[in-house]
Structure 1
Amino acid sequence: MQQNEPRVGCGAYIQDTNKKVLLVKRRRDPEAGSWGFPGGKVDFGETTEQATIREIKEELGLHIEVRGLAHLVEFIDTQNREHWLAPVYHASIQAGTPQIKEPEAITELKWFDLSSLPHRLTEATRQTLNLTPLD
């Protein structure tokens, strides 16, 4: 997908009571095969918080509460002509158990300890967790 202007996405940084973080493995580009925070595109007329709540319900069947901004991600890949702005919100699960509701977009979901994250992470996840990219 080549873009002519920046697009807006959103994500949710969800931790359980043991401080494990919920990540999903992306099936589609951008960053297919990478693990990252669940989320997606912001629709016209939606706030980024509303989009985050909607995306998490659609993707994982969860009702979440947004608790504040964790990080504002700016992803620019000039070679592939992709430019995204994506706020990632701290969120808590209010109801539901995570399940893959959009298998065309997500291949796996898993809770990870912050000390044992997978190697292939999305740029948004790396930026939010302040991790150095792997080469």
Structure 2
Amino acid sequence: MEFKKQQAIKTSVVACVIDENERVLLTRRCIEPFCSLWVMPGGKIDHGESILAALHREVREEVGIEIHVEGLIDVFEHIDVGDRKDHFVILYYRAVPLSLELSPNGDECTEAIWALKNCLPKMALPPGGRHILTQVFPDLPWEQPRPADLDLNEELPGGQLTSSSQN
């Protein structure tokens, strides 16, 4: 009997970082999957690493800030992502920033911003990020266009208060 080896499911953590003015930390992703979309910082959990340690590490690596984690928002699953048909299970945690000065690493993200919540429905977000933000801000008009309908080169909607770019 021959068995076909299955690809592993990738488990990741993402921080939905919201400051006291209800601005959300977003980064412009520069690697696949979801290259050029606005995402919340996060990434894979290393073998032997706790979930919360991975969350803190990923935020620190991507944008250079520390966070306080408040709790799990939800879990989102991406199936058949990209050319390799990857399968991701992503745990989204709500967090508050312990500082606001962003420093995007340039390896995974080229920009990091604090976006006003009212601008979120118009932004090019991947399905998981959009799903989570609809739960966090259910009062917003989420019937706006999906990422495929948006011009990724368009200027950020007027809600950008703080921006930091990596050249």
Q: TM-score when scaled to structure 1? A: 0.87
Mapped to 2, the partners of 1:128 and 1:84 lie a distance apart of 15
Any stretches of 5+ residues in structure 2 without a counterpart?
Answer: 1-5, 135-141, 149-167
Indicate which of 100, 103, 107 corresponds to 1:99: 103
Residue of structure 2 in register with 1:47 after alignment: 50
1:89-133 Cα offsets, whole Å, 9 max, x none, are 111122462211x20210111111222124310222112123567
**Percent identity of equivalent pairs:** 31
Mapped to 1, the partners of 2:81 and 2:63 lie a distance apart of 31
Q: Give 1:78 deviation, angstroms.
A: 6.1
Any stretches of 5+ residues in structure 1 without a counterpart?
Answer: none
Indicate which of 9, 13, 16 corresponds to 2:12: 9
Mapped to 1, the partners of 2:25 and 2:64 lie a distance apart of 13
Question: As a proportion of its length, which structure holds more strand?
Answer: 1
Q: 1:78–1:57: structure 2 CA closer, same or farther, 3 Å change rule?
A: closer
Q: 1:115–1:4: structure 2 CA closer, same or farther, 3 Å change rule?
A: same
- Which of the pair has the greater relative contact order for Cα pairs under 8 Å at 6+ separation? 1
Q: Please tell me the root mean square deviation across aligned C-alpha atoms, in Å.
A: 2.0
SS at match of 2:54: helix
Residue of structure 2 in register with 1:90 after alignment: 94
Matches within 5 A, 1:8-27: 8-27=11-30
Residue of structure 1 in register with 2:138 after alignment: none
The one-letter code sitting in structure 2 at the alignment partner of 1:56 is V
Q: TM-score when scaled to structure 2? A: 0.72
Indicate which of 58, 62, 69 corresponds to 1:59: 62
SS at match of 1:21: strand
Question: As a proportion of its length, which structure holds more helix?
Answer: 2
Mapped to 1, the partners of 2:100 and 2:123 lie a distance apart of 28
The answer (yes or no) to whether the contact 1:20–1:111 under 8 Å persists in 2 is: yes
Count of matched residue pairs: 132
Larger radius of gyration: 2
Residue of structure 2 in register with 1:28 after alignment: 31
Residue of structure 1 in register with 2:154 after alignment: none
The answer (yes or no) to whether the contact 1:63–1:96 under 8 Å persists in 2 is: no
Q: 1:63–1:126: structure 2 CA closer, same or farther, 3 Å change rule?
A: same
Q: 1:127–1:44: structure 2 CA closer, same or farther, 3 Å change rule?
A: same
